[in-house]
Structure 1
């Protein structure tokens, strides 16, 4: 059955009827293979499908030459990157730290950029959303690019010693980041169990090389850091070529390790291998086996330390007890306890000497007093009327008791009393004579 347009104009292209209004999404085909001329996808749906598919593409490193660069708008950068050998170019854009780093480059610079494919649905244009840009130096070697990144991160202070954390002395649980069924996993777990059997593990398997490596390692670090039971994290990988270890020098891995609040040990490769993760880690181990020896103590050494400590404690306690016994014995043998009266001897001597001095003093006082009495007695004796009487004199008193010292006061017939040395006489005056 022909359409109206085919009937009117047989040479014209075939036409289909499409609704003027957009159909609901649930009425649109779910897959591209289900679309038809009568039931197509709108451009916006196909663009969104493209965007969803591109969003699943992995990140990648790409190198080339800058043919155009625009960093005039603060915080954004737009670059046209041309292949070094083919006439092929692509658009690169980025923001924030990428834009700040890109502002140091000019047209003609050869660079290496890390980014993720991105589709701008408004124009359905494909570009690379960059997050790291490095200058190609020393012939464009990876080592030179990593060295440039190392200098930049060092300038930001990511490798400073004062930011590094101390490892716990006796970890209860160790977070281990390694490849599945890797020898590094067995080396770490075996050597840790030999040294400290009580420890437990939280193992996260990741890609340890290739483009998926940085994102896997970042996610594993964040996962283990969020686990409060994990006391220390070990990132372990066996040896390999420098290019195989490049994922552990990725800026995202370095920044994730810097932001990690749990002590982190880097055990990548062998003794001579190095990555930027080694510089930012709280401790760098030369091998996974070396990491096992560093994160846990040796149980035998700890037992020996405990035994030595117990021995020292016993020696000190014994010495202290013996010293106290000697002190007690010294106190018990002191004369103050064996002959307690000896404590009173000095005081007794003091009392005896004091009594002796008191006796002497009192005797001197008594002698002085006796001498004074004798002198006073002699003086009194010399001045006493009795002494006069003793020499033959007499005291004559009138009848009224007055001492008679003038004969004129006596009349004949007056009674007189005469006191002699011995005895008293009573007499009567017969006459008196006055010279």
Structure 2
């Protein structure tokens, strides 16, 4: 049943037979004419007595291929024999076999792609990706300090895999690996590595990814310079490390990844920390911290001792005692001064009292004299009698003598001569 969005060019009643469809397809394909096509050879099937040889040309970046039909004489005329994995360009014409509905390409010429030409293409791709910013150090991510799980993409049973695992386990036995074995040479390398990279990048437990291979010729390393792989690495969210053991040429992968390692062994050293070195660093840090703590404690103790040696801290009551002694001395001085003043005043009072006593009436009375006072009838205070007029007969008198007083009455008065 045809999709609703498409409209067939004929009707059910006028349906084409298969031969007409195949002939139409062949006509369309024949219009392409002769083409130069580049790819990688696989499945070379040839014998000297055969008139035609059969090969498969695969794309270097994706899982696509086309069958080639080539005269055996063309292969025999080549300067060097063809091998699986050779990078070639072929001149041919697409051919559609209507009998079986099979597409192939009839080839009239095959040429090896030279190393110089391959290197020129790699450099051109390197310049293009650099202009796009894929080599910019600012976009490269830092590797985790201690990865819990490392993704490893390498060949099955390869020396690169053994080197990475042995070195990593020796440095940090607790590290875990998620290993995906892929082709590391040939036409299937790029799609398999890209698929493995996608799987590891989507695994949340993988902290870093290593792509490792143990070196090789320029032709062997060509898959690691394919554009599709570079863009896949650039789009990955997990840090990627390239570990293609080779010198001095390096594939484009080394420029795109977040870190380049010279060899798989070097990659393991850069990704996985050395537990012995880390313990040594911890011991050094612990020793430095302990020394710093001891120095701080010593300085603080010395400071406390210096404070304790001060008089105010050696005897906290001393200032109070000193003030108390000062107050006591001041009070004694004040008391002495007051006593001195009192004695002086007492002496002065005693002297004045002696003078008063000597001059007062008491002394006179003591010598036999007396003082006569009259008591007025109105009850007012007594008056000293100095005249007989003050004490008419019958007046009440009080006579003061040295040791008391005598009450008497005036019997009569007599004026003196």
TM bucket, shorter chain: 0.5 to 0.7
1:273 Cα deviation (Å)? 2.2
Query: Could you list the runs of 5+ residues in structure 2 that have no partner in the other structure?
Result: 1-11, 30-55, 62-88, 104-114
* Structure 2 residue 269 is the aligned partner of structure 1 residue 276: no
Q: Secondary structure at the match of 2:184?
A: coil
Aligned twin of 1:417 = 398
Q: Which has the higher contact order (CA 8 A, sep 6+)?
A: 2
CA RMSD of aligned residues (A): 4.7
CA gap of 1:292–1:43, structure 2 versus 1, over 3 A, is same
Q: 1:165 aligns with which of 141, 147, 163?
A: 141
Aligned twin of 2:235 = 259
Task: Show the 5 A alignment for 1:215-234.
Answer: 215-234=191-210
Aligned twin of 2:59 = 59
- Residue pair 2:374, 2:390 contacting (<8 A) in 1 also: no
CA gap of 1:412–1:314, structure 2 versus 1, over 3 A, is closer
Supply the distance in 1 between the matched residues of 2:246 and 2:385 (Cα, whole angstroms): 153
Q: 1:156 aligns with which of 132, 138, 151?
A: 132
Aligned twin of 2:382 = 402
Q: 1:43 aligns with which of 4, 21, 42?
A: 21
1:284 Cα deviation (Å)? 0.3
CA gap of 1:47–1:264, structure 2 versus 1, over 3 A, is same
Aligned twin of 1:190 = 166
- Residue pair 1:218, 1:253 contacting (<8 A) in 2 also: yes
Supply the distance in 1 between the matched residues of 2:186 and 2:363 (Cα, whole angstroms): 157
Aligned twin of 2:410 = 428
1:387 Cα deviation (Å)? 0.9
Aligned twin of 1:364 = 337
1:377 Cα deviation (Å)? 6.2
Supply the distance in 2 between the matched residues of 1:172 and 1:348 (Cα, whole angstroms): 71
Task: Show the 5 A alignment for 1:34-433.
Answer: 40=18, 43=21, 47=25, 58-59=58-59, 141-306=117-282, 308=284, 319=294, 347-348=320-321, 350-369=323-342, 371-372=344-345, 375=348, 387-391=360-364, 394-400=370-376, 402-407=382-387, 408-412=389-393, 414-425=395-406, 426=408, 428=410, 430-431=412-413, 433=415
1:361 Cα deviation (Å)? 2.0
TM-score (norm 1): 0.58
CA gap of 1:239–1:321, structure 2 versus 1, over 3 A, is closer
Query: Could you list the runs of 5+ residues in structure 1 that have no partner in the other structure?
Result: 1-18, 24-38, 62-111, 127-138
CA gap of 1:433–1:191, structure 2 versus 1, over 3 A, is same
Supply the distance in 2 between the matched residues of 1:245 and 1:40 (Cα, whole angstroms): 45
More deviation, 424-433/182-191: 424-433
Supply the distance in 1 between the matched residues of 2:297 and 2:394 (Cα, whole angstroms): 118
- Residue pair 2:394, 2:409 contacting (<8 A) in 1 also: no
- Residue pair 2:60, 2:223 contacting (<8 A) in 1 also: no
1:281 Cα deviation (Å)? 0.9
Q: Secondary structure at the match of 2:222?
A: helix
CA gap of 1:354–1:60, structure 2 versus 1, over 3 A, is closer
1:325 Cα deviation (Å)? 13
Supply the distance in 2 between the matched residues of 1:204 and 1:45 (Cα, whole angstroms): 45
CA gap of 1:60–1:335, structure 2 versus 1, over 3 A, is closer
- Residue pair 1:418, 1:427 contacting (<8 A) in 2 also: no
Supply the distance in 1 between the matched residues of 2:211 and 2:57 (Cα, whole angstroms): 26
- Residue pair 1:381, 1:387 contacting (<8 A) in 2 also: no
1:222 Cα deviation (Å)? 0.9
Q: Secondary structure at the match of 1:198?
A: coil
CA gap of 1:264–1:60, structure 2 versus 1, over 3 A, is closer
- Residue pair 1:179, 1:185 contacting (<8 A) in 2 also: yes
